[in-house]
Amino acid sequence: MDETTGTPSTDEPGFPGLVAPATPAPAAAPYRVLARKYRPKDFEDLIGQGAMVRTLANAFEAGRIPQAWMLTGVRGVGKTTTARILARGLNYALPDGSAAGPTIHMPGLGLHCAAIMESRHIDVLEMDAASHTGIDDVRQIIDGIRYAPVSARYKVYIVDEVHMLSEKAFNAFLKTLEEPPPHAKFVFATTEIRKVPVTILSRCQRFDLRRVEAGTLIAHLQRICVAEGVTAEPEALASIARAAEGSVRDSLSLLDQAIAHGAGTVSTETVRDMLGLADRARIIDLFEAAMRGDAPAAFAELRAQHEAGADPSVVLQDLAEFTHLVTRLKVAPDTARADGALSEAERGRGSDFADRLSVRALSRAWQILLKAIPEVQAAPRPLAAAEMALVRLIYAADLPTPDEALRQVREGGGVTLPPGARTPPVVPAGGPALRALPDSRPRLEAVPAPLPSPAASQAPAAQAAPLPEAAPALRLRRFEDVVALADARRDIGLKAALERDVHLVRFEDGRIEFRLAEGGRPTLANDLARALDLWTGRRWVVALSKETGEATLAARAKAEVESRHQGAAAHPLVQAVLKNFPGAQIIDVREKPAETPPDDLAPPDEGEADL
């Protein structure tokens, strides 16, 4: 015996070489990942599925409970969890018996709740159809469904990934699924709803679980971070929400990984390094350099992001995503700005790009990036492939359309490339480019000459040149010229608004006053002024007026069409046609163009008429 400690000595008989074990410490509880720890327990915990919860609440209260449900949606939106909550609501009962029937209101754990949520209840059977695909597995369900539940109110069969069942297994389900015993309910879950036979779908009540919106997902992640005592930056949570693409489970898995990666702190840099993403601000800088035509700056920024750990294919995906954002800000600014996953830099600078870039330039950039992403992913040298994609984006994002190129060839003898092209090639009239276009001469004669196209600005590549929309001074003589200019610039939304919502009060070169039609967009005056400043190269004043003004161009065009129809309907020949053909209607009235007789034909004699 050790006199100092009172513990048995290893030299005493009976303890040959052994030390008495110390009192064992209590075992620490095993760690549960966030996706399981914060799994919803009832319908109130489900996020982003309000329509489904409301439908189920009304059905339960009215007693209109179907025999089967089909839950479909992308991975991680809560299909299996919803199936278990449904089973819990169907069998909910408190120990005192206060809950007498199925309900979605479950204030506390009932008799069967814990066993159901842990997948160990004897009357709630779960089957993974991915590993039980045959008819024998379905026969076991059919044989067991005849017997009443042991302790619960209903026997609930949850079949996950039901689309994996074989054709014979589906056929074996049909009769039982259509007329099951009153004590049996089925809940099916699938990510591939199109692979489920229509005969099965027609026997189920279907719910499409939606992707969770980014704002809702970010708020959910913030609540979990507070509950876990984790410090998280809002932009980091927004990056996680974007990467999850509406999947709650994926977002929680990424958050779990980010917490471990950042040692308890979730920062933007941590998430960016973890996911291999590029800095959103640097993506915007790369976009600006590319659209400005500054190849050296774009190459330097791409290489800097690659050296910082960003994947070239992910960089191009982020570029395409930002291009899509700028396009949304241009054509639907209100809906785009409401996106909760956007940062302040994306909102501010994206709006600025939307004002300065045309839809044509944005759509071309989108097409180039969309084609380049799979090329970079499959390339043996992704960085080189990404640089070549940037070259295409820089030199082709703002090239003129074919009709503008032909017009420039006719007017100036050459085609102007966007800024950044050091030696713009001049295409001579009748050169190879024109010979490559079939039937070019008849097309040029058939298309009326539109308004002159502004020439692209020629600024040095080293300077911060303006984006390719600058234009020389252009004079407009009437309001119809403004509409024609919007059409030539391919701003379809503005052109339609000018024709439909503008009651012109006063027009002069440099100033427009109009009354806005009821229902017109309130920002039309500012949008028109900004567009005219950009297109004409000088300042325009566009003001709203309370005077009545003229009729809109759309109303005048409609009135003209109606007048032509009325004139045609009054013609005796047309009246005879309408009378002899009941049900006939005047669809369109067109004026016959005047035809010039050939020189070798003599003019008709006096008194003759064309019939």
Mean pLDDT, all residues of the chain: 76
pLDDT of residue 12: 43
Is 102 a residue whose pLDDT tops 60?
yes
Assessment of whether the complete model's pTM goes beyond 0.95:
no
What CA–CA distance (Å, rounded) separates 371 from 398? 17
pLDDT of residue 138: 87
Weakest-pLDDT range from 193-202, 352-361, 566-575: 566-575
Give the whole-number percent of the chain exceeding pLDDT 90.
Answer: 5
Q: Looking at the domain 280-396, which fold is it?
A: Zinc Finger, Delta Prime; domain 3 (1.20.272)
- Across 11-25, 99-113, 183-197, 527-541, which has the greatest mean pLDDT? 183-197
Say which residue the tokens 């007017």 belong to. 411
Which string of DSSP letters, residue by residue, matches 331-396? Answer: H-HHHHHT-TT--HHHHHHHHHHHHHS-HHHHHHHHHHHHHHHHHHHH-SSHHHHHHHHHHHHHHH
Is 30 a residue whose pLDDT tops 80?
no
Reported confidence tier of residue 279, pLDDT bands at 50, 70, 90: low
What one-letter code names the amino acid at 432?
P
Weakest-pLDDT range from 94-98, 326-330, 599-603: 599-603
pLDDT of residue 188: 92
Is 412 a residue whose pLDDT tops 80?
no
Reported confidence tier of residue 145, pLDDT bands at 50, 70, 90: confident
Q: What is the mean pLDDT of residues 243-263?
A: 85
What one-letter code names the amino acid at 559?
A
What tens digit of pLDDT does each residue of 199-234 get? 889 888 888 888 888 888 888 898 988 888 888 888
Same fold yes or no, 34-208 and 214-275: no
Cβ-based neighbours of 23, under 8 Å, separated by 6 or more: none
Is 107 a residue whose pLDDT tops 60?
yes
What tens digit of pLDDT does each residue of 316-354 get? 998 998 899 889 888 887 766 666 666 666 777 888 888
What tens digit of pLDDT does each residue of 520-532 get? 888 888 888 888 8
Is 355 a residue whose pLDDT tops 80?
yes
What CA–CA distance (Å, rounded) separates 370 from 321? 10
Is 483 a residue whose pLDDT tops 50?
yes
What tens digit of pLDDT does each residue of 423-473 get? 433 333 333 332 233 333 333 333 344 444 444 334 444 344 444 444 445
10 Å CB burial of residue 447 (0-12, 13-18, 19+) is exposed
What CA–CA distance (Å, rounded) separates 502 from 551? 8
| Adjacent-strand bridge partners of 411 | none
CA dihedral 525, 343, 353, 518 (to 10 degrees): -20
What CA–CA distance (Å, rounded) separates 12 from 15? 6
The neighbour count for residue 560, using CB atoms within 10 Å, is 10
Q: What is the mean pLDDT of residues 101-123?
A: 82
What CA–CA distance (Å, rounded) separates 419 from 415? 13
Say which residue the tokens 């998280």 belong to. 232
pLDDT of residue 384: 92
- Across 7-11, 155-159, 349-353, which has the greatest mean pLDDT? 155-159
Three-class DSSP category at 401:
coil
What CA–CA distance (Å, rounded) separates 109 from 41? 9
pLDDT of residue 385: 92
Three-class DSSP category at 117:
helix
Helix (H) or strand (E) segment spanning residue 18: none
pLDDT of residue 464: 43
pLDDT of residue 439: 36
What tens digit of pLDDT does each residue of 280-311 get? 778 888 898 888 888 888 999 899 888 877 88
pLDDT of residue 373: 92
Is 18 a residue whose pLDDT tops 50?
no
What CA–CA distance (Å, rounded) separates 69 from 193? 13
Taking the chain, what is the end-to-end CA distance rounded to the nearest angstrom? 135
User: On the CB side of 93, how many CA atoms lie within 13 Å of its CA?
Assistant: 13
What tens digit of pLDDT does each residue of 169-202 get? 888 888 888 888 888 999 999 988 888 999 889 8
Reported confidence tier of residue 277, pLDDT bands at 50, 70, 90: low
10 Å CB burial of residue 248 (0-12, 13-18, 19+) is buried
Is 247 a residue whose pLDDT tops 50?
yes
Is 421 a residue whose pLDDT tops 50?
no
Q: Looking at the domain 479-554, which fold is it?
A: GMP Synthetase; Chain A, domain 3 (3.30.300)
Q: Looking at the domain 214-275, which fold is it?
A: Helicase, Ruva Protein; domain 3 (1.10.8)
Is 120 a residue whose pLDDT tops 70?
yes
What CA–CA distance (Å, rounded) separates 441 from 385? 39
More confident residue, 475 or 320: 320
What tens digit of pLDDT does each residue of 487-504 get? 888 888 888 888 888 888
Comparing C-alpha atoms, which of 563, 561, 559, 606 is closest to residue 588? 561
Weakest-pLDDT range from 226-230, 342-346, 355-359, 600-604: 600-604
Reported confidence tier of residue 381, pLDDT bands at 50, 70, 90: very high
What tens digit of pLDDT does each residue of 41-73 get? 888 888 888 888 888 888 888 888 888 999 988
Q: Where are the domains of the chain?
A: 34-208, 214-275, 280-396, 479-554
What tens digit of pLDDT does each residue of 576-590 get? 777 777 777 777 777
pLDDT of residue 595: 56
More confident residue, 263 or 98: 263
pLDDT of residue 576: 78
Q: Looking at the domain 34-208, which fold is it?
A: Rossmann fold (3.40.50)
